[in-house]
Structure 1
Amino acid sequence: MADSATRSVQRSILFSALDRYTGLLVVFFATAVLARLLSPEEFGIYAVVNAITSIIAACFQEFAGASYLIQKRELSRTSVQTTFTITLMISVATAFVLFVFAQPISRLFELDRLRYGIEISALNFLLLPFSGTMAALFRREMQFGTLAICNFVAGATIAVVSVGLAMAQFSYMAPLWGAVAGNAVLAVMLLILRNDFGAMRPSLVDCREIVGFGLYSGAVSVVNVFYGLAPQLFLARVLDFTAVGLYSRATASTQIFDKLVTQVISPVVMPAVVARHKAGGDLKAGYLEAIQMLSAVQWPFLAFMAVMARPIILIWLGPNWLEIVPLVQLLCIGNLALFAACLTYPVFVALGRVQDALISSLISLPPSLLVIFGASFLGVHAVAASALVTLPFQAAVAFHFLGRHLRIRPGEMVRSLFRSGAVTALVIGGVSICAALTDMQRLSSLAGLGLAFVVALLCWWLGLTVTGHPLLHQFRYAATGLARRAPGRWPSRTAP
């Protein structure tokens, strides 16, 4: 039974990885092209529009119950219908409000062009109820292969439309229209593949239970999303849209790890954690094991990004974006504290303590926002530097609440992370030599980056081996499993 559950999670992670990596590949090339077609100011306008609509989207998506559909033990037909109905009602109201307040918001930021961007983005809210509900049901059933196909086609649509319109001089409107086109494709594909139009029948049965869960879940989501996007809003109001564009691009570059790793496992984490808790599994042991694995990948990756930021930005985005190199370095260092971020909310949900997720956010995020707001008057570099204080503080508050429920002592956390720290130090040493050779122009940017990547992999593997890191055991376990299944899947050439 346990082996079957493990294989199910591993298979889900595989499909989730396929989903994210193919999508990331599309985004990587689209970003490289758009960075050469849009100026920092144009990208800054897009970033502000995206920030405003993303905050509202996060609110209604979680309020309406994507997490509710996943964590519900016995999901009835009426619960699905009610969740969709509430989502649709909120999304239509939200789109209407955005249309009405688009002009006042543009006046607040003293830029009339914001109005048209907000009105276009509001169209997405009319599509999200359909795609959000269907995607949540696929996630609940661990059907990540279907989601991977739909997300890839939608992502490709966004890229093609965005680049095409940018080449046609649509400026900051290009990625906004691209997002609308991609969401439309995603909604249509999910509806066709799910083929369950009865789930969209209006219903308000059990609405109090769904709304009760959504009040906490939605509040947690909107608080965290607002915090993540607040720097763009502060910079737009205090400085200018060029500063917003630089900071937003630096943030997006820093979040490559999230797209490569965290977003691969995040869709699987909540269903897997909830299933483990239902089966009576030890969440404390599972949590400590998970942070060992995550930190052994995240820390070396962010260290590599910080040390090699200049050649990465030069090759990927071009010389016009070299101003963001110090921003990327500061944000990478600050994000080292968030090694367990993707586990926090799912564990709270599994424990039935989703309200503690809200409380911890309300304790840590308001002071962090004040720090960021104050830093915005000192410039974009000060805003990036504030992450060195705010992100570790947020991680400490979250761990305080989780540690109390899981009975994890600080010493146990330190022991779990010690080996990952040693691995990261070894990677930094090797990559720093390559960075020095590149800075002295002994190597070109491309050659230096390629050499640094190889050296980082070798140092990482050496570190895992020397420290006897548990992640190495997981690799061996996975390799053994593949070897055992291989003979049955691929017959021998000598077989009759």
Structure 2
Amino acid sequence: MRTSLGWSYGGQAFTFIVTFASSVIVARLLGPREMGVFAIAMATYGIISIFTSLDIGTYLLREGEMTKALIRRVYTVHTAMNLLLALLTFGAGAITAYWGGEREIGAVLMLSAVGPLLGIFEFVPSTLYRREMNYGVLTRVGMVRVVITSVTIVACAYGGLGALSPVVGPLVAGVYSATYYNIRRRRELIFRPTREGLKPIVVFGFQMMSIGGVASLTQRLSEIILGRMLGLAALGLYSRAATLASLVWSNVYGLATGVLFVKMSDDLRDKGTLRDTFVLSIRLITAVIWPLVIGLAVLARPAIHILYGEQWMGAAAPLSILMIGQFVALAFGMNWELFVLRRETPTLTRYELIRAVIGLGSFAVGSLFSVTAAAGGRLIESISGYLLYRPHIDRLAETERGEIERVLGESLLLTAIAVAPAFGLMLWKGWAADTSPLLIAAAVALGGAGWFAVLVVRDHPLVAELRKVLDKLGALRGANWSRGEA
């Protein structure tokens, strides 16, 4: 697990830098309205994909015995749903462009229909690498893919493709990754569908769709509501804030939980318990991500001003609120993994539906007023999720009463120490967007030093993990030095 996380985070650090840099360049080439066109097209695509994407890969990760017959069945279901997604997306784009009068939105949708077709060829080999926890290959492919995506998007934006630019990049990268995976695992490729044994996979897929689909549907409908009520430019501002927020969430939290799900699944099969891995994971994740999200919430105004320019300042307040929402969501983190591994997906589905109704309603009400008020709906959604899920975490993870609270209390202390200098600086400067980057860097460095000092004093497991990483790097350097002398 440690090796997989090392590969994942090492590659993701590179991915984050490249993606972030390209997003800054694209934001200066494309305005809020063009990003709004892309966002509303992706919201439509997202709604269609909810009903066609069954997350079948999780089925392969969870099952004990791996056979060619199983892979063939899973491949059949995945291929059928991807073909349906491509057809519906292209149809929606054609209707939007030629009958709805929205040529730009329709063009984005029709071009997006190519993505699911490429996904057919990438699915089996990439999922098998995940099951084997071979994140070295996955990371290397991901790093090349993000470079291709980013360079293509920037080139297209510079060339005047407008809202089509963010679509072309992933498609070009998808051709590369599908080709690479199929060459690497050509002996295991299965392109022949079957009609036997599909029912358990379809049932599982629809359960997963009902779980993740509710949250995704809420998000996509929210974006459409915001775009229709406040305009495409307002949607572009919200989309910029949401994209920046998701960079932190997906590159740190999402990446870790992807590896940890496989590890907890193995623990449950081999040991009958996942408690130790879960507690350690929550302790490490919140110690790192809580300071990040609250720090970005505090520094949202200067961050937006420095990175994207004056035209995007309307995204600063929504960004702060979205980051606070992520802070709340981490307090009941990894709930999805626990419910799925404990085979309590019906309960998870019911709670997600309740949470979605609350979130969509509060977001829609906020959209009547402003982008900032709409983002407040996301915070209300996170609070409702905490109230729904937190009472079940101890039971599902088999933790003692108060154990998770002690972990979260420790991470809250680390967060307060890490963010205090930046918070004090912004108070002193009156939350000015043009606060000196040097002062911001100094405040962040001071907070980081205090954060690390507390980690060492408390003998936090993150320090032990860092020591192991440094020892490993030292051993590698020593081995390379010895080979060089020889």
Q: Distance in 2 between the 1:255 and 1:99 partners? A: 27
> Which has the larger displacement, 268-277 or 366-375?
366-375
What corresponds to 2:305 in structure 1?
A: 314
Q: Distance in 2 between the 1:99 and 1:82 partners? A: 26
What corresponds to 1:489 in structure 2?
A: 479
Cα displacement (A) at 1:62: 3.0
Q: Distance in 2 between the 1:98 and 1:400 partners? A: 40
After superposition, the Cα gap between the structure-2 partners of 1:342 and 1:106, relative to the gap in structure 1 and judged at 3 Å, is farther
8 Å CA contact retained: 1:307, 1:435: yes
8 Å CA contact retained: 2:426, 2:432: no
What corresponds to 1:52 in structure 2?
A: 44
What corresponds to 1:255 in structure 2?
A: 246
Q: For 1:444-459, what aligned pairs fall within 5 Å after superposition? A: 445-459=436-450
8 Å CA contact retained: 2:28, 2:308: yes
Deviations 1:28-59 (A, max 9, x none): 11111101110101001111112222343355
Alignment of 1:384 with 2:375, yes or no, is: yes
Q: Distance in 1 between the 2:153 and 2:469 partners? A: 39
Q: Distance in 1 between the 2:38 and 2:432 partners? A: 36
8 Å CA contact retained: 2:61, 2:131: yes
What corresponds to 1:305 in structure 2?
A: 296
Alignment of 1:90 with 2:81, yes or no, is: yes
Cα displacement (A) at 1:387: 2.6
> Which has the larger displacement, 358-367 or 33-42?
358-367
Structure 1: runs of 5+ lacking an equivalent? 1-8
Give the one of 257, 275, 279 matched to 1:284: 275
Give the one of 5, 11, 29 matched to 2:3: 11
> Which has the larger displacement, 227-236 or 298-307?
227-236
Q: Distance in 1 between the 2:135 and 2:96 partners? A: 38
Alignment of 1:40 with 2:32, yes or no, is: yes
Q: TM-score if structure 1 supplies the norm length?
A: 0.90
Q: For 1:124-273, what aligned pairs fall within 5 Å after superposition? A: 124-196=115-187, 198-273=189-264
SS in 1 for 2:196: coil
What corresponds to 1:359 in structure 2?
A: 350
Cα displacement (A) at 1:251: 0.9
Cα displacement (A) at 1:13: 0.8
Q: Distance in 2 between the 1:373 and 1:410 partners? A: 37
Q: Distance in 1 between the 2:99 and 2:279 partners? A: 46
Q: Which amino acid is 2:24 matched to?
A: A
Note the aligned Cα RMSD (angstroms): 2.7
8 Å CA contact retained: 1:335, 1:387: no
Deviations 1:116-159 (A, max 9, x none): 11111111111112222221111011111111122222222221
Q: Which amino acid is 2:88 matched to?
A: V
SS in 2 for 1:60: coil
What corresponds to 1:6 in structure 2?
A: none
What corresponds to 1:331 in structure 2?
A: 322
Q: Distance in 1 between the 2:303 and 2:47 partners? A: 30
Q: Which amino acid is 2:479 matched to?
A: R
Cα displacement (A) at 1:218: 2.0
Q: For 1:407-422, what aligned pairs fall within 5 Å after superposition? A: 407-408=398-399, 411-422=402-413
Q: Distance in 1 between the 2:67 and 2:424 partners? A: 59
Alignment of 1:22 with 2:14, yes or no, is: yes
SS in 2 for 1:447: helix
After superposition, the Cα gap between the structure-2 partners of 1:393 and 1:320, relative to the gap in structure 1 and judged at 3 Å, is same
Cα displacement (A) at 1:487: 8.4
After superposition, the Cα gap between the structure-2 partners of 1:237 and 1:105, relative to the gap in structure 1 and judged at 3 Å, is farther
Deviations 1:142-179 (A, max 9, x none): 11111112222222222122111111111111111222
8 Å CA contact retained: 2:417, 2:451: yes
Q: What is the count of residue pairs matched by the alignment?
A: 486
Deviations 1:400-444 (A, max 9, x none): 343343355663322221111111111222222333465598995
8 Å CA contact retained: 1:368, 1:390: yes
Q: Distance in 2 between the 1:358 and 1:292 partners? A: 26
After superposition, the Cα gap between the structure-2 partners of 1:331 and 1:487, relative to the gap in structure 1 and judged at 3 Å, is closer
Cα displacement (A) at 1:68: 0.6
Q: Which amino acid is 2:5 matched to?
A: I
After superposition, the Cα gap between the structure-2 partners of 1:394 and 1:409, relative to the gap in structure 1 and judged at 3 Å, is farther
After superposition, the Cα gap between the structure-2 partners of 1:441 and 1:197, relative to the gap in structure 1 and judged at 3 Å, is closer
What corresponds to 2:67 in structure 1?
A: 76
Alignment of 1:114 with 2:105, yes or no, is: yes
Q: Distance in 2 between the 1:66 and 1:341 partners? A: 24
8 Å CA contact retained: 1:465, 1:472: yes
8 Å CA contact retained: 2:52, 2:84: no
Q: Distance in 2 between the 1:135 and 1:346 partners? A: 20
Cα displacement (A) at 1:10: 0.7
After superposition, the Cα gap between the structure-2 partners of 1:335 and 1:106, relative to the gap in structure 1 and judged at 3 Å, is farther
8 Å CA contact retained: 2:18, 2:150: yes
Q: Which amino acid is 1:448 matched to?
A: L
SS in 2 for 1:390: helix
Cα displacement (A) at 1:22: 1.9
After superposition, the Cα gap between the structure-2 partners of 1:450 and 1:487, relative to the gap in structure 1 and judged at 3 Å, is closer
After superposition, the Cα gap between the structure-2 partners of 1:440 and 1:141, relative to the gap in structure 1 and judged at 3 Å, is closer
8 Å CA contact retained: 1:43, 1:172: yes
8 Å CA contact retained: 1:266, 1:342: no
Cα displacement (A) at 1:468: 4.4
Cα displacement (A) at 1:389: 1.8
Q: Distance in 2 between the 1:83 and 1:487 partners? A: 43
Cα displacement (A) at 1:89: 1.4
After superposition, the Cα gap between the structure-2 partners of 1:440 and 1:187, relative to the gap in structure 1 and judged at 3 Å, is closer
Cα displacement (A) at 1:306: 1.3
